[in-house]
Amino acid sequence: MSVLSYGLTGKVVVVTGGSRGIGLALARRLLAEGAKVTICARKQEGLDQAAAALGGGDNLLTVPAHIAREEDVDLLFGQTKARFGQVDVLINNVGMNLLTPTLIDTEAAAWHKIIESNLTGTYYCAKAAARLMKGQGAGKIVNITSTAACRPAPGMGIYGIAKAGIEMLTRVLAAELATDNIQVNAIAPSMVKTSFSAPFWSNQDVHDQIIKTIPAGRLAEIDDVVEPVLFLCSGGANYITGQVLAVDGGSTVI
């Protein structure tokens, strides 16, 4: 894929879940664009490995934070503002799932863990970012959701509910923040070839069944997600807000 430019030089971007997968790829591209980037993850070890992979440098800040804890989120944005002076863009990338049985057979603890890590954490981060952005007079929030938000799948029930909540959160925030010149949008990928989804696509039979549902005839690669996210972070998306963009190879149109 050719490398596009999105005019993000000097922008301060917070990427949650930035130590691996899509988040790490986003951080790498943002740094290459000349942005100043904060990544967070729950484990310092993962952040250290990510910093080494990204080459460190003055434009990268790593902050250990569990986004389902509001005090951690406050620390994340406080340290970012202290280091870089502002926050221009938030990319809510954190996502986690536990393969669960039917909803009525799932323990409450699994419900709380999945909802808090996905939906509640996205809310906490968006709230903290928006408060800073309102004072600056501009900002962008991009949430990573999933096609699981609109299509039930075995083992993905609670995850899909959490992602559906993120899509409504996106619309509500977009309506509430539009007059503050803050655009809030979401990207909804289908299955992406990352370690997160490996339990599915690494099984050849399951992989082949999934491919049958995708008109493009392949799973999404990480760059397929990175590019549209960066577009929504850019000035080219200044009049786009409250939208959920499916990045799914056509799977939701059949």
Secondary structure (DSSP) of 120-146: IHHHHHHHHHHHHHHHHT-EEEEEE--
Report the percentage of the chain scoring pLDDT > 90: 80
| Selected residue with higher pLDDT from 195 and 189 | 189
Residue 74 has phi, psi (to 5 degrees) of -60, -40
Q: What is the mean pLDDT of the chain?
A: 94
Architecture of domain 12-253: 3-Layer(aba) Sandwich (3.40)
Tokens of 71: 């005090």
E strand segments, 76-162: 89-92, 139-144
Could you identify the residue written with the tokens 């409504």?
A: 168
d(CA 170, CA 2): 29
Tokens of 191: 């299955």
Determine whether 230 is exposed, middle or buried from the number of CB atoms within 10 Å of its CB (0-12, 13-18, 19+).
buried
Tokens of 3: 């490398």
Q: What is the DSSP letter of 180?
A: G
Residue 203 has phi, psi (to 5 degrees) of -90, 115
Query: For 78-120, what is each residue's pLDDT tens digit?
Result: 999 999 999 999 999 998 888 899 999 999 999 999 999 999 9
Q: Please tell me the pTM assigned to this model.
A: 0.94
State the average pLDDT over residues 186-209.
82
Active-site residue set: 159
Query: For 21-68, what is each residue's pLDDT tens digit?
Result: 999 999 999 999 999 999 999 999 999 999 999 998 999 999 999 999
Query: For 138-150, what is each residue's pLDDT tens digit?
Result: 999 999 999 999 9
Distance of CA 228 to the CA centre of its chain: 12
Name the strand (E) or helix (H) holding 27: helix 21-32
Tokens of 129: 């970012």
Could you identify the residue written with the tokens 């808090």?
A: 116
